[in-house]
Amino acid sequence: MSRSVLVIGAGPAGIASALTLHQQGCAVTVLDKATFPRDKCCGDGLTTGALRLLEQLGLRPEMVPDWYQCDSAWLRSPSGREISLPLPTNNGQFAAIAPRIQLDNALVVLARSYGITVQENISFESVLRNDNDWVEIQTSSGPMTADFVVAADGMWSPVRRALGLSTPSYLGEWHAFRQYFCNVTGVASKQLCVWFEPDLLPGYAWSFPLPGNRVNFGFGVLRTSDHGVQYMNSLWQELPMRAHISVALGPDFAREGRHTAWPIPACIDTATRSAGRVLFIGDAVCASDTLTGEGIGQALLTGILAADAIVSGMAPQDVRDSYSRALDKELLADHRMSHLLGKILARQVGARAALRIANTNEWTRHNFARWMFEDEPRAVMLTPRRWHREFFTRPGAFSGNPAPD
């Protein structure tokens, strides 16, 4: 039975859901308050898991002009120990950088190429009806009715708020700052760098390379009482000037534009997942990884799972139950593992030990990199149902189509 679905939000989660629904015969309309291309504050990093999902959805690296494939990661522990973790270079892509202003626009273009209606500059305003028969919403262009609504409208989801389901004063589990730097001539111009600074743990600082000697530079920290806005603002000013970081950036680096900050929701285990004929995905269901703050792969996955639930279920309760079971199956064990690892990495001794183990030999360096970039789910060793013959030997994404130079 064909179903009509309104997707609120045209970011990766929303477009992933729309593409999956369209492929399965549903009538889909995507609404977004922005006009594309539009920027989204993000680290721009893509894990192996995210890359495989993008490939599954039909995206190609050449659709993103500044796509940058990474072949290794350079890490610095709190003690100053530096290690390089290699990724496979001849069997697909395992990590990449893609500016969100380009990636999100490419996904919108892709959706339209399949005939999906994406309406820009239209804001969600309220829910008029959400019951056993259908869901009706009010938008800035008038009322719209569908069988289901998929809310991909961010951490402070207006749809969730309209349904009276928001958590008062919720500010996310992480907070991150980001700015683009140019004229980068040090190792960071070509190398993905991560610094586990003692005062950021279990957070970290990063520099992700882009073409033309540019990088996405930023840091993420757990939101705690001693990590207030004033602290983070002052940290932002001095962090790039720390000796080991400035050396990696090179003497001539310069800041581009303004810095931006954003909260990261990472509580998939307790977040509201659905209500009536509405399913929440991406940041709206707080799906980011609580260990790293990464969220693009999780956004794509939740969008696909929501679409599958809508197609497979009949009654709204069946759809909600199917979606919740899928989230538990795909993300809950990994969330719990990330939460446990975060507690270990919050202490310098834990962070140092983790990197020391990773640097034991060539095998550990190689496979730690694949684990870090989620070549396999975070808790795969503890979930035998996800074991398979190609454990840590599968090709990466786009193995038949390398990224452009």
Kindly report, residue by residue over 299-341, the tens digit of the pLDDT: 999 999 999 999 997 899 999 999 999 999 999 999 999 999 9
Of 77, 329, 284, which Cα lies nearest the Cα of 163?
Answer: 284
CB distance 11 to 152 below 8 Å: yes
Q: Give the model's pLDDT for residue 225.
A: 63
What CATH number should be reported for the domain whose range is 174-264?
3.30.9.100
pLDDT per residue of the chain (405 residues) written in tens, 0 to 9: 689 999 999 999 999 999 999 999 999 999 999 999 999 999 999 999 999 999 999 999 999 999 999 999 999 999 999 999 999 888 899 999 999 999 999 999 999 999 999 999 999 999 999 999 999 999 999 999 999 999 999 999 999 999 999 988 898 999 999 999 999 999 999 999 999 999 999 999 999 999 999 999 999 998 876 767 778 888 999 999 999 999 999 999 999 989 999 999 999 999 999 999 999 999 999 999 999 999 999 999 999 999 999 999 789 999 999 999 999 999 999 999 999 999 999 999 999 999 999 999 999 998 899 999 999 888 888 888 888 888 888 999 998 754 433
Ranges of each domain in the chain: 4-72+98-170+266-341, 174-264
Q: Which tokens is 316 given?
A: 């709204």
Q: Confirm if 337 and 378 have CB atoms less than 8 A apart.
A: yes
Indicate the pTM of the whole model: 0.95
Q: What is the pLDDT of residue 269?
A: 96
Say if domain 4-72+98-170+266-341 classifies as CATH 3.50.50.60: yes
DSSP state of 404: P
Q: Residue written as tokens 């307790």?
A: 270
Give the C-alpha separation, 104 to 124, whole Å.
19
Q: What is the largest CA-CA distance in the chain?
A: 63
**What pLDDT is stored for residue 401 in this prediction?**
55
The pLDDT score that the predictor gives to residue 405 is 39
DSSP string, 19-82: HHHHHTT-EEEEE-SS-SS----S--EE-HHHHHHHHHHT--GGGSTT-EE--EEEEE-TTS-E
Cα–Cα distance measured from residue 348 to residue 350, given in angstroms and rounded to the nearest whole number: 5
**8 Å CB contact between 32 and 177:** no
Q: In whole numbers, what is the pLDDT of the chain averaged over residues?
A: 94
- pLDDT value of position 1: 60
